[in-house]
Structures are given as structure tokens and as C-alpha cells.
């Protein structure tokens, strides 16, 4: 069970590409990476989940915590590239109604 987290920053715009599995084993590494980014004031964090092959409730908990932290710092969180399976997880839990899971922003970090 592996996870890869690639981060690019340009001013307040931060893109994060995640690939692999998000579960109880990999969630602590993901939480540590994302919470550091979420501390930045007024940042826009775009997370690409197109490379995620599996996510359990532990992963959902990470995203809820990150979402709350970003909001408390007047930032924005956008989740992109969700597979139908991941989308279903967010819909079942009601998170799809409070999180931006399809938004796009111009000026993607390269």
C-alpha cells in the first residue's frame, strides 16, 4: 500500500497530485502533507485524485479535517479527478454538497 504526493506552489495557488491508495496505513502521511498546506492563509488548494485507486473512511476523515482547516484560514479546497467510486463515497457521506469536487481554476501551477 503506497501513496505518492506531489505538490507544486505558485503564490497562493497550490496543486497536489495524489496517486495510490488512501487508507489507515497511508492516511497519516497524507494528513501531514495536506495540513501543512492548509495552514497557509487564503490559499487555493487543488487536489487531483485521478491517480487514487482506493480510499476508505480514514481518507475521507483526512479530507474533512483539511477542508475545515483551509476554511478557517480563509482558503479554498477543490478536489478534481475523482473516479466514480470516489465520487460515490463523497456523495454517500454528504461531503459532495459542501466540498467543491468539480471546480477548476485558471492558472494551474506547472
**Cα separation, 95 vs 100, whole angstroms:** 9
At residue 102, the pLDDT reads 73
Print the domain residue range for 81.
3-97
Report if residue 105 sits inside a domain: no
Report if residue 107 sits inside a domain: no
At residue 1, the pLDDT reads 65
CATH of residue 35's domain is 3.30.750.24
In the predicted model, what is the mean pLDDT of the chain?
90
Instruction: State the total domains in the chain.
Output: 1
Report if residue 108 sits inside a domain: no
pTM: 0.88
Report if residue 58 sits inside a domain: yes
Report if residue 27 sits inside a domain: yes
**Cα separation, 68 vs 81, whole angstroms:** 21
Q: Residue 20: is its pLDDT beyond 70?
A: yes
Angle at Cα 84 formed by Cα 90 and Cα 50, nearest 5°? 90
**Cα separation, 15 vs 6, whole angstroms:** 8
Report if residue 65 sits inside a domain: yes
Contacts of 31 (CB under 8 A, 6+ apart): 62, 65, 66
Helix 27-38 vs helix 57-72: crossing angle, to nearest 10: 10
Report if residue 81 sits inside a domain: yes
Q: Residue 70: is its pLDDT beyond 70?
A: yes
Amino acid at each position: 500500500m503506497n501513496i505518492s504526493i506531489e505538490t507544486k506552489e505558485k503564490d497562493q495557488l497550490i496543486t497536489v497530485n495524489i496517486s495510490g491508495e488512501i487508507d489507515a496505513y497511508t492516511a497519516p502521511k497524507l494528513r501531514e502533507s495536506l495540513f501543512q498546506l492548509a495552514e497557509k492563509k487564503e490559499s487555493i488548494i487543488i487536489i487531483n485524485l485521478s491517480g487514487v485507486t482506493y480510499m476508505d473512511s480514514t481518507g475521507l476523515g483526512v479530507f474533512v479535517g483539511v477542508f475545515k482547516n483551509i476554511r478557517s484560514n480563509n482558503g479554498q479546497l477543490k478536489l478534481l479527478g475523482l473516479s466514480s467510486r470516489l465520487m460515490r463515497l463523497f456523495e454517500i457521506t454528504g461531503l459532495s454538497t459542501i466540498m467543491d469536487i468539480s471546480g477548476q481554476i485558471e492558472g494551474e501551477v506547472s
